[in-house]
Structure 1
């Protein structure tokens, strides 16, 4: 076998395994369909729904084939805890899709790079870190909702709730599931919104009464809605995106937006200031604020950062934006640890075991 043939064979094996270095393959890599341009790999931590990652990653790769995203995905609380635990030895380059309150906490911990993305001024001001040293940028807003199974309700003679207060009625005892706020961003936005809407003392009183009717707390924000869709419960406190997707698939659900208003959270993006791939990280964050990216966000979320982009999302309740509370994210971020500690002390006994 000639030296040239041996080299081509080695390069082909490297491409197939993705574990061998391509250094030394030279121009022969072009014959094998491999670009000789260096590919930068970014480790991206996210709490985005798993069914969104491929679409987002593929769209970015079309514009920047020289940057490869390696996703690390989990629920909001788990990703937040992971990032904070790794503070002394960070593994992530970028966070793309995590609760704004989580990123505010990391900013206060000095973990994030100050960076103002290109054309960020085109975004709605609510979705921008407008401080002197901006460290995060918003993508979209996800909103709380009640997933109500109409068939299960008929079986158990349950009326349709219209408010958060309704869920404390005796008829719903054992028929309500919600997420644990320590592991779920959806759970935290609910708890935070109740404390802001009712006031702190009355908010905890409300959760005491609600706890009586809760059958279990899950570690995923979407799971209560999935359990409602499958008939394992009549009521799942979850978020509108997951409910709309399940209705689209034929689940016997109605999305209820409580009259008191709904909690919501910004999904946001930031750069870890310890990254060794700063240029590629900035390229990703620049892309994340584009109109193209926001059109992708709008496929699942009715409220996005780029004005004029959002179109109605099928099965979303009408005028959902009008029901979003005046959320104090700075307050939520500042008090996050105390809120979670208090919640765990009071209610964790009904939580699912951690996997």
Structure 2
């Protein structure tokens, strides 16, 4: 009788609209902010009944972890973070090829990201690089407002600039590769050494400098513009700058980890995360990137590419293992190790 009752209850539950039943497990490595990671995971669990274990780390840290676990993968999906480390992971055969049926729903820049990586990653959002400064503190110190990359290397910003470490942060590596493409390599490193004198801290997280500028902990924070927008929407007295010389941008990406233990569920998450409904979660989490699904709503606060002077960022070259390693090693030798 008990067995009959249990089977009946299971059958009723199966017929309930939207009923989420246990469908296995999934491990997601998330490289956007925790405030966006959590609702994404919760929404996927509600939609599918799949139990998700989520770890949040910056994109550089996640790439290091996936490399370390290559012989015994513990993660299934790497979601978010700048595209360069995802491209490098693809080149190193750390991720799986997967051609989602939802590729046709995406903007061309997201599809190009997939094609360049032999479909081992895909674009899920995009955002331009720049910086923000604390308007209140700037006025109190009577410093002229910066508008360009050159401005924040001026002596009056000594000890007043915060940026992430490019070894751990995809945001900061994007800045490094952007400046090399914008200025040429030698002038870019001359600039970076000058900027180094003004940097008060190299953070682990790419978004942390935006929060520091918002609170007045630092005067200037170099981040993606959408990270600064999140602070401004929250009421912080910050002014957001797309540098006058031009700037680069990221294509935030998603990859399935090679040898994933939960491959079927990983593909299910991948397809779901490319949907317009899933991408609309970003704005509810105060994340103002441009979504890759053409049908996903663009938050009105999101910085538009047409309003920014963008360089023709070469993702294939600067996301390659050889160039990325070379630039990071040079930055360590000539910038991080330099006297201030």
Instruction: Name the TM-score, length of structure 2 as normaliser.
Output: 0.87
Separation (CA, whole Å) in 2 of partners of 1:29 and 1:82 = 43
Q: Is the 8 A contact 1:302 1:310 kept in 2?
A: no
Q: Is the 8 A contact 1:26 1:36 kept in 2?
A: no
1:60-139 matched pairs, under 5 angstroms: 60-65=44-49, 67-128=50-111, 129-130=114-115, 133-139=118-124
1:309 corresponds to 2:296: yes
1:54 equivalent in structure 2? 38
Q: Is the 8 A contact 1:99 1:265 kept in 2?
A: yes
Look up the SS of the partner of 1:323 in the other structure: coil
Q: Highest Rg: 1 or 2?
A: 1
Separation (CA, whole Å) in 2 of partners of 1:126 and 1:231 = 36
Look up the SS of the partner of 1:127 in the other structure: helix
Separation (CA, whole Å) in 2 of partners of 1:229 and 1:132 = 36
Instruction: Report how many residues are paired.
Output: 327
1:206-355 matched pairs, under 5 angstroms: 206-297=191-282, 300-314=287-301, 316-317=302-303, 322-334=308-320, 335-349=323-337
1:144-223 matched pairs, under 5 angstroms: 144-223=129-208
Q: Is the 8 A contact 1:173 1:213 kept in 2?
A: yes
Superposed displacement of residue 322, structure 1: 3.8
Separation (CA, whole Å) in 1 of partners of 2:6 and 2:325 = 53
Structure 1 residues 310 and 91: CA distance shift in structure 2, 3 A: same
Deviations 1:301-331 (A, max 9, x none): 34221225343432x5565664332111111
Can you give the 5+ residue segments of structure 1 that lack an aligned partner in the other structure?
8-24
Separation (CA, whole Å) in 2 of partners of 1:63 and 1:36 = 7
Look up the SS of the partner of 1:118 in the other structure: coil
Look up the SS of the partner of 2:136 in the other structure: helix
Separation (CA, whole Å) in 2 of partners of 1:145 and 1:301 = 14
Instruction: Name the TM-score, length of structure 1 as normaliser.
Output: 0.84
Look up the SS of the partner of 2:72 in the other structure: coil
Superposed displacement of residue 100, structure 1: 1.5
Structure 1 residues 132 and 320: CA distance shift in structure 2, 3 A: closer
Separation (CA, whole Å) in 2 of partners of 1:174 and 1:228 = 13
Superposed displacement of residue 27, structure 1: 4.4
Superposed displacement of residue 119, structure 1: 2.3
Can you give the 5+ residue segments of structure 2 that lack an aligned partner in the other structure?
none
Q: Is the 8 A contact 2:128 2:305 kept in 1?
A: no
1:10 equivalent in structure 2? none
Separation (CA, whole Å) in 2 of partners of 1:141 and 1:197 = 19
Structure 1 residues 309 and 322: CA distance shift in structure 2, 3 A: farther
Deviations 1:98-140 (A, max 9, x none): 3221111111111221110012122112112125941111110
